[in-house]
Structure 1
Amino acid sequence: MKSRRILVWFRNDLRLHDNEMLVEAIAKSERILPVYFFDPRYFEITNFDTLKTGIQRSRFLIESVRALRTAFQRFSGDILLVKGRPEDHILNLTERFEISEVYHHREVGPEETAISAAVEDALWKQKINLRHFIGHTLYNKEDLPFPIRDIPDVFSQFKKKTERDAVVKACFDTPEKISFVENEEWGVLPGPEDLGFGVEESVPDALQGGEAAGLAHLEELLTPSSVIYYKPSGKTGDKNGFSSRLSAWLSLGCLSPRMVYWKFKAAEERIGGNANFNQVLLGLLWRDYYRFMFKKHGIRFFREPGLEILVQEPEMPDSREVADWKAGNTGNALVDRYMRELNNTGFIPHAARLVVATFLVHVAGGHWTKGAAYFEEKLLDYSPASNWGNWANIAGTGLGAGHKGAFDIEKQIKLLETAAAESTSVA
């Protein structure tokens, strides 16, 4: 009798803790085959003449996959690394390793959804099931107080009803034992040069990718001496600029949103809450909101006629205003400082993102898709739903735009005007 073997296809879920997909695969199989595909489509030039994945996030991804490999090796196993499109290799892998089922986490972005569909179609030829899991949100869709089709489009309503009527589940335990499919060649971890990048440059204040690094950062963040326990302060435009910097690990699934949530709740019980705690928990809920909006509406979330054509054939080359914005040469001190920080490190706080996006769309007159595509390349913590959803709302084309509390354009413009005035007086 052929043994039951499950291929576990890792995507943006690079962790062992709170991973239902992995727990289920271990429980339902005799052996598992973990696989990660370095899909070349994620390292190509986009229609906007930007990189799909920039050097900063590519390094972080490589470190995160390396960390997952190391974690599996502690169980006397490994993860198979494949350079290529999943749908091109999945049939060969299922035949070669006698796989009976494939597990993976479902995504909500149109490109990621199309890849899942292509893999599912390929597996159907061998009558092998592709089982879908959802492991990127704080709340499971079945735990929401409404079906997907009835989720409120206004964030404040979504927040109120969800916090009142839904419960965040406990985390799944980290596996204590894993049996792996026998294999001799597990594949070579690529370097940035293998993904199309040139000679590496030093990255100031770079975060380390991987589950272990994410968990260590979380624990450090919640120590009594951490800055998160104190009210943030700073220069003009920075008063709301505190960031836990957890988002990079969340975006690749090195940290589970539920793990972060329960760690913060435990800290609240020990020492009480504060504004920074609330900001982190609110950020988790915004992540859920955008993912569920994409699940509910898809491309219809963007209330802009002709958007698909605009994305496929954007105006090229960039206008002078957009080019100056990307380079941090707008003449606005605050915007330029934030954009140069983004270009150098791959990260700026959420408040800073609102400022630079407001400037591009409402001051420089650039189309919001130009900014969204540039952030897609540069952000260490890029997540399709959150990135494109935020940009659409700032531009006033998202379904959540125009509602009180969604986005305060006047506030952001005031910050920009104040920074410009300060810059002039200094000069």
Structure 2
Amino acid sequence: MNILWWTRRDLRLADNALWDDIQERLSEPGSSLTILREPHNAQHARISESPLALPRMSSTRQRWEEQAWESFGYQVHQYGLSHRLVQGPLLDYLAKHHVDLVVFSHGYAWEERQAEKALIATGIAHQGFHTYTLFSPEEALSAVLEPTFTPFRKRIEAHRGAKTFALGPSKPPEISPSPMGAFTLPARPTEADAWTRLHEYIRPHGPATQYKTQRNGMLRWNDSTKFSLYLSLGLLSPQRIWNACLELEKQLGGSEEVYWIRFELLWREYFQWVAYTEGTRLFRPGGLKESGPSRISGDARRLNQWITGRTGDALVDAGMRELAATGYTSNRARQNLASYWIHTLQQPWRIGAAYFESQLLDYDPAANWGNWAYLAQCGNDPRPIRQFNTLKQAETYDPDGSYRRKWAGYNV
């Protein structure tokens, strides 16, 4: 049997039902494995109305994902199984090679699901796995029918309780010996780095014990988990994070600080299933509410000022310069940057979301576009308006001005 693993956001071997299935199939005589990566069309703009040509993926994000692929190939090699690593469009490969079975991880946003439909249309046998989310569709979709996040969370928590996920025994990933290019962030796109971060963060007396209190910090690395850098490429499973939190909560006799990490995982989960059920609506100008915004095309001058961090707002400029330099900025900063673009500059939300897509190393289509729609009042938000006062936000979350000084050079 010729097996093709169509990799997507599943570049790990631990806690991966797809990999477990492959190993079982390869035990059959005559079986072979090819692993395919589809490089993104980085220059293909998502928003045609943008006044500037915004690529789908910056060079920094391209390099991040390429290095994740290289490290993943090394991990597979350590198992000693015969395999080939190839890159290129899936349908082109299937047209030129004999494949008996395609295995893949399900995606949840519109384009990802369309790609799966194209595979199905070939008539080639296929098997999909839910490796990216906490829950299966059967568990999640009844809860996502709730109109907003809070009822969704309560239904999930009532159903799930404080139960851990059953995870098979997994050996720690091997550290890749291949050279890693320099990134500004103290993180690397590898499964081994993901495990290191997990164990350093979620432990007694570790940063997780202060997570809820410190999560809105914008400057220190340990103010938040940074797990999104690994989750977005499937380098770490959400189930392993969930279980680690529950174990630490148990050791501490309960901890709202640690629980809040699971709370944020449920936000991530919620956005996946909203994207799954809403399809193209999440990416339309009117969003989920189909409200039809008055403006679709943006102003080139304002977009350039925002992108380059030259708006004159110290907090916004710091956040935008950090994003351009590193491919990352905190959740608190992201909310302020998006709010400023939408409400202060009065610009189309989708152009801002498209720019974030191109820059963020932890880009996740459901979370990125869901959060932007949320702030633009065309998502699943019960509030009539969600506008941030960036001056007050700076006073609250950067009281000594250290963040603004570091990234924008403002003397505040």
Equivalent position SS for 2:36: strand
Label 1:236 to 1:115 Cα distance change in 2 as closer, same or farther (>3 A).
closer
Taking the TM superposition and a 5 Å limit, the aligned residue runs for 1:306-345 are 315=297, 318-345=299-326
C-alpha RMSD over aligned residues: 3.4
**Equivalent residues, number:** 382
- Equivalent of 2:198, from 207, 212, 218? 218
Equivalent AA in structure 1 for residue 200 of structure 2:
E
Kept after mapping to 1: 8 A contact 2:339/2:388: no
Aligned partners of 2:302 and 2:345 also within 8 Å: yes
Name the amino acid aligned to 1:140: S
CA drift of 1:210 comes to: 1.4
In the other structure, the counterpart of 1:85 is 89
In the other structure, the counterpart of 1:299 is: 280
**In 2: Cα distance, 1:352 partner to 1:79 partner:** 43
**Matches for 1:27-426 after TM superposition, within 5 Å:** 27-29=24-26, 30=28, 31-42=31-42, 44-46=44-46, 47=48, 48=50, 49-77=53-81, 80-93=84-97, 95=98, 99-122=99-122, 124=123, 128-144=124-140, 147=142, 151-166=145-160, 170-173=165-168, 203-230=183-210, 232=213, 242-301=223-282, 302=287, 303-304=289-290, 315=297, 318-398=299-379, 400-403=380-383, 408-409=386-387, 414-415=392-393
> Aligned partners of 1:327, 1:345: CA distance in 2, in Å?
13
CA contact (8 A) 2:271 2:366 kept: yes
CA distance in 2, matches of 1:266, 1:370: 41
The residue identity in structure 2 corresponding to 1:27 is: E
Q: Which residue of 1 aligns with 2:407?
A: none
Alpha-carbon spacing, 1:236–1:142, altered in 2? closer, same or farther (3 Å)? closer
SS at match of 2:22: helix
CA distance in 2, matches of 1:402, 1:230: 29
Whole-angstrom CA distance in 1 between matches of 2:216 and 2:80 = 51
Contact 1:360 1:368 in 2 (8 A): yes
Give, as a single letter, the amino acid of the residue that structure 2 aligns with 1:372: A
- 8 Å Cα contact 2:248/2:258 also seen in 1: no
Contact 2:245 2:258 in 1 (8 A): yes
Q: Write the deviation string for residues 99-129 of structure 1: whole angstroms up to 9, x where unpaired.
A: 422111111222222222222222x1xxx21
Distance (Å, rounded) in 1 between the aligned partners of 2:218 and 2:76: 44
Retained in 2: the 8 A contact 1:38–1:81?
A: no
Per the alignment, in what secondary structure is the counterpart of residue 41 of structure 1? coil
Q: Give 1:244's aligned amino acid.
A: T
The CA deviation at 1:388 is 0.3
Question: In structure 2, how many angstroms separate the alpha carbons of the residues matched to 1:296 and 1:235?
Answer: 30
| Partner SS, residue 66 of structure 1 | helix
Query: Which residue identity does 1:155 align to in structure 2?
Result: F
- Asked if the contact 1:204/1:344 (under 8 Å) is kept, the reply is yes
Q: TM-score, normalised by structure 2?
A: 0.82
Q: Whole-Å Cα distance in 2 between the matches of residues 299 and 160 of structure 1?
A: 27
Instruction: Say which structure, 1 or 2, has more relative contact order (CA 8 Å, 6+ apart).
Output: 1
How far apart are the structure 1 equivalents of 2:227 and 2:215? 21
After TM superposition, give the deviation of residue 16 of structure 1 in Å: 0.6
Please name the residue that 2:174 is paired with.
Answer: none
AA in 2 matched with 1:245:
K
Give 1:160's aligned amino acid: K
CA distance in 1, matches of 2:126, 2:217: 51
SS at match of 1:147: helix
- State the AA in 1 paired with 2:187: L
Distance in 1 between residues matched to 2:337 and 2:186, nearest whole Å: 21
Write the distance in 1 (CA, Å) between the matches of 2:216 and 2:246.
30
**Equivalent position amino acid for 1:339 in 2:** M
Amino acid paired to 1:217? R
Note if contact 1:87-1:115 (Cα within 8 Å) is conserved in structure 2.
Answer: no
Aligned partner of residue 203 in structure 1, secondary structure: coil
Q: Aligned equivalents of 1:69 and 1:38: distance in 2?
A: 14
Structure 1 CA distance, aligned partners of 2:394 and 2:314? 9
User: Secondary structure at the residue paired with 1:132?
Assistant: strand
Confirm or deny: 8 A CA contact 2:109 2:275 kept in the other structure: yes
**AA in 2 matched with 1:147:** S
Give the gaps of 5 or more residues in structure 2. 172-178, 405-409
% identity of equivalent residues:
27
Per the TM alignment, residue 348 of structure 1 is displaced from its structure 2 partner at its CA by: 1.1
Alignment correspondent of 1:186: none
The one-letter code matched in structure 2 to 1:8 is W
The alpha-carbon deviation at position 361 of structure 1 amounts to 0.7
2: CA distance, partners of 1:235 / 1:387: 18
